[in-house]
Each structure stands twice: as structure tokens, then as C-alpha cells.
Structure 1
């Protein structure tokens, strides 16, 4: 039994999908992609049966209304009343429509080249993480950092963030304002604050009037959810809360380090759409091929102490490598 939000992974290994939603459990004897198709067909079928039944009920009620005082139709009226009493109503599976509608604030314009690196490298004592990385990120670029764990993806992000020293020169462009999401971001939240206070502390200006809407969009709807203390939140809830904090800052360079680890498939799709629409520059460190597909147009591959640029999307990159998924880079 596997609980996972990695679509490709579950598609490749599972033969049965159990959906837990809206207080009910549905069992499908197929993999995830086929389950999506069957679920859609099943709802359409239910809707059709529901509409037909509603029409029949209305016609029966009209008949009863019309002939209830007519002596010659008494038996017919009575049998139809009984039929309606015994009728099993067709139910339509409820769908979870609490999807987020997500929009980053318009980003202030940065210079043409938010990040320029010339022979950047990082070593710890004798250990070389990577060296001679020379790359230019242009305004509006959406770039992925991919490669094995430990090859320097997060290290290079820390260099850009000026968190650690490095060799070579790394220049940030004019008016670059960075929004940063790291894997440990969720653990930096103040555990004693409530969800509402956490966001209330960072919200500035007009958005202050919309805090409740924003929390609702990230599935913290209702007074109960927003009054929860951070310390009782799950990993996924903390990640979503950190994401909201990031959304409140008008930035023009977003750096996301493994942003999808605690997000479910639906939330991932919504975040991805918001990033596609984001009008600034994006660097995303990720192993999630589904998430990166259609989002990035540049891939930086980390490996053998080098950083290699590929001017293509994630599928073309994997094709040139003759690989199915980014996990294979680990081998």
C-alpha cells in the first residue's frame, strides 16, 4: 500500500486506487491515470441518471397533483404516491471543489540579467561540490536545477542567496528582489502563533483585507483552521502556510527548493499554474518531472562537479538522457 503524490511513480507500480474524499471512500481496480478517466465517466453517468430520475419524479408529481381528486384515477394516483415513497434516489458523488485560485502579485521589474555567474565553485576542505559554473539567467527565464542529491543544487541556491561564501563571481542584477522557499522553510515558522497570526504578521497594505480569502484558497478556510496553532499542523499544512508567506511578497526572482514535497496532486497543479502565470524569473530545484513539465524552458544539470546548461524543457532533457524520470539521475 503506497500513499504518494507522485503521479508517475504511482502510475508505474500500482494496479488499484483507493480515493478518500469528502468523508467517503471509493475503490477503483486500476492505476491512477485510468482511475481519473473512470471517475470522470462515473460522475457523468451519475449526473445523467440523476437528471433522468428528477425528470421522472417531476412528471409523477404533476400527474398526482392533476388527478388527485378524480375518482376514476384514484388507484393510479395511489400507486404513484407509493412508488415515490419507495424510490431510491440516485446520488452523485460529491466532488472536492475547494481548489486554490492562486495569483502572485505583479512583480517589480528587474534588470535584464537577474543572475550572472562566472566560474563559481564551492569546496569544503578537500571536498569539491562543483566548480567553474558559468551561467546567465535572463529576466523571465524559468529554469530547473536537476541532478543527484549532494551534487550542489541547494548549495548553488545558497550562494545566490548570499548565505554562503564561494569561489568566482556571482552578480545579482539591478532591482532583483528574491522570494525564497527552502525545504526547511516550514520548520522556521513560529510554533506558538496561529495560522492567522503567521500571515497577519507579514501582510502589508491592501492585502490585509484579504487574509481570510488567501487562507481559504490554501485550504485553511473557516475560523477553526485559521485559529490552529502552527505546532499542531501537519508537514503539508506547514508547507502550504510557508507558500502563502512567500506569495505575499512582491518579488521578481522566485527560488523554490523542492516546493512540492508536501503538496497533494491538486495543490501541485494549482501552484504550477500560478508559476506558469508568474511574470518574473523562476529557479526551481525539483525531482518532480510532472511538475516541471510545461513549466521550465531551461534545465541546469548538476553532476560530476559540473553544472551543464540544456536549453529545453524537462521531457526533451530526459529524452537526450534516454531516461524515464529524474530519479534515474540518482543511479
Structure 2
């Protein structure tokens, strides 16, 4: 029961049949079952994917005290930095595994140092080869030097050549175009009510978002975070109250579950170039590459893309032609770590207003300046979800909300 509670299940959920849960909650139940078994080797493939922030924090604390060995794949930098002691990199070019001692941040430093050493060794060998070849070319026709020339020729023949090191993939840096300036008041919700059938989500919700705000929505899954983002985006109607975008507010809404209309006949490259008339093809290819579209992928027709590929393509389109109010629901879901870093770099330079949902602590910590904590109002469900504003980022929110306490994180 403690494990189920930590992963976000309520007491009344414990005896529900699995068929009544969504796929994400079923995955949590599978994870809980695995943790209860306490295997000697716990193997986890992206364990944070279906967790909200609070459940992720609980799992992070749980695994820190786990007595067995853990082998996992993850794209959550902060999660890995907190737990892991060894990183194994898969090098597809050399078809080998390279082990590094330490957490993910230590791995980045060690990999860079290793690359620098390889580059230096490669350069030193090339200098040695040039020096030997110069001697051979200079004295090849000199009889008195014949033995030395032959010796150096054999040295070159026996020498194991060092291949030029491949530069480690790094986040892509690009000066994205800036959005048009909005009014100070970007959007306002006044006494907004929202329900799905008989289930009340919000009642009398007031919220004002101003220019250059950087807001993260956090809270348990099902509390109403995504619904609030949809209300702000105007993609669902409200049952009561008013939603008032400011003058000159241009809204962009990104969700992993919703793909904007793509021209199915366009290639991926054509779709991005059409989104921004000033973008050069070389830049478009580089940006797409940083978001996991390989050289052959950019020539694919949009109509044959998978759901994840469509989500990533829409994300790129937002970045090359940004709105001045960007609403993002779990934008890191279909990305690897370096793609997330590329997105972070882009959003750090973004001069518009940003409201997002994420369970990636590194992403939140880097970008959020205000935190809205959305929670279910279990004591007074007739009043709708509670939205508490913290004028600070992730660490401020954790400190002020008391969620740095294990028990609080379990019962939140």
C-alpha cells in the first residue's frame, strides 16, 4: 500500500480492476508490482515516463534506498544524477560499451575529457606519421640511408592507425526568431468553471498570466493540469466564466497527444521550411537533426510519420515560428537527453510567455520562475481543484510546499 500510495494511487483505488485504469496507470501498477517483489536486479526502461512530478520524487527517494542492483534507461537528467553510480554509453560506431564511474553529470565531464585525449593522441600520431614520411621521401634515393628508410617504412606498415575521434553529440544552439510583443496582460481567466460530465474540475477559477511569465504546472495526474492548459489554449470550451486573451496575444499549444494539422504531402523538411520563410535549408536540417530526425527522415512525407515523430515535428515548427504565448504539455516525452537540452537552450532564449507541464526536474529547474500547484480538492470536491501559486521555481516550491519531506510526497 505504501508503494501504491507513493506512485499516486489513492486508498479508494486499491481494489479497482486494472481494466478501469488508463494505460499510464496500468504501467504504474506494473511498476508497483515489480518494486514489491524486491528483485536482486531491478531493470527499468524509462520508469519516469508515466509519472507526475510528485510520484517521480517518491520513486527517486525509494530507489536511493533500494538494496539491490539497478539497471535502467532514462532521459531524466536529474533523476539519474540522484540515483546512478555508473553510466554505460553505447557507441554504435565502434560497436562497444564504454563505462564511466559517477552520475550523468560526471559522465558528461569524463566523456569530454576522453574525447580531448583521443583528439590529442590522433594529432600526435599524425605528426609522427608526417615526420616519418618526410624522412622517407627525403632520403628514399640516398643509398647510405636505405636501411633507415626501410626501417621507417616498416614502422609505418606496422603502426596501428588511430581513427579520427567522432565529436560527441551536443545540444544544438540556434538563435530562433523572437515572437511579436504582447500586451502586459497576456491572458486572464475570470470565475472559470469546467467539468467533464458530472466530474467537476474547476469552479470560480481566477488566473492572470502576464508578459514574460515562465510558469510550470505541477500536481498529481488527474488533478486538472492538462485541462487548465487546454482552457488557456482555448481548445476546449469552458462551462462558466470568461477567458480573455490580451490584445496581440498569439497562442501556440503543444501537447504530446495532439498534433497540429500537417500537410501530409510535404516532406518533414518542407514542412519546417514552410513554417518560417527566413529559415535556410541547412539550418532546418540541423534543427531537425537535434530533434532526432536523421538525414533520411527529413525526406519522409508527413503522412507516414508516427505519433512521436509528428509531435517532434510540431515542436520544431513552434520553435522556428514561435507564438508569444507558448503552452506546452510534457514537451520532453518523445525526446532524448540531448534533444531536451536543445529544447532548453531554445526556450532559455525565448522572449515570449511560457506555461508548461513537465515532470522533468532539470527542465523545470532551468526554465520555471513561477509554480502553480494543482491538486484535487478531496475535502470539498464541489469547489473544484485547488490552484496554489508559488512565486518561485522548482526548489522554492519544494521548500515552501513541504514536499521535500518523504511522507508529504507520498500523501500529496
Structure 1 residues 263 and 94: alpha-carbon distance in aligned structure 2, compared to 1, 3 A threshold: same
* Match of residue 52 from structure 2: none
Alpha-carbon deviations, 1:220-263, whole Å to 9, x = none?
464x3232134544554322211123235452111111111001
Deviation at 1:87, TM superposition (A): 0.5
* Match of residue 51 from structure 1: 123
Say which of 168, 191, 209 aligns to 1:119.
Answer: 191
| Pairing 1:149–2:229 present | no
Can you give the 5+ residue segments of structure 2 that lack an aligned partner in the other structure? 1-70, 378-384
| Pairing 1:4–2:111 present | no
Aligned residue for 1:218, secondary structure, equals helix
| Pairing 1:313–2:389 present | no
Say which of 85, 88, 95 aligns to 1:18.
Answer: 88
User: How many residues end up aligned between the 2 structures?
Assistant: 325
Q: Cα RMSD (Å) of the superposition?
A: 2.9
Deviation at 1:110, TM superposition (A): 1.2
Structure 1 residues 44 and 203: alpha-carbon distance in aligned structure 2, compared to 1, 3 A threshold: closer
Say which of 162, 170, 181 aligns to 2:243.
Answer: 170
Matches within 5 A, 1:285-296: 285-296=357-368
Structure 1 residues 130 and 114: alpha-carbon distance in aligned structure 2, compared to 1, 3 A threshold: same
Say which of 117, 123, 133 aligns to 1:61.
Answer: 133
Q: 2:344–2:366: 8 Å Cα contact kept in structure 1?
A: no
Alpha-carbon deviations, 1:256-282, whole Å to 9, x = none?
111110011111111111111111111
**Rounded Cα–Cα distance in structure 1 between residues aligned with 2:322 and 2:351:** 11
Say which of 106, 109, 114 aligns to 1:34.
Answer: 106
> What's the TM-score, normalizing by structure 1?
0.86
* Match of residue 41 from structure 2: none
Structure 1 residues 329 and 311: alpha-carbon distance in aligned structure 2, compared to 1, 3 A threshold: farther
Aligned residue for 2:231, secondary structure, equals helix
Q: 1:214–1:244: 8 Å Cα contact kept in structure 2?
A: no
Aligned residue for 1:294, secondary structure, equals helix
| Higher deviation after alignment, 41-50 or 17-26 | 17-26
* Match of residue 315 from structure 2: 243
Deviation at 1:44, TM superposition (A): 1.6
**Rounded Cα–Cα distance in structure 2 between residues aligned with 1:270 and 1:329:** 33
Structure 1 residues 76 and 199: alpha-carbon distance in aligned structure 2, compared to 1, 3 A threshold: closer
Matches within 5 A, 1:220-235: 220=293, 222=295, 224-230=296-302, 232-235=304-307
Can you give the 5+ residue segments of structure 1 that lack an aligned partner in the other structure? none
Q: 2:132–2:152: 8 Å Cα contact kept in structure 1?
A: yes
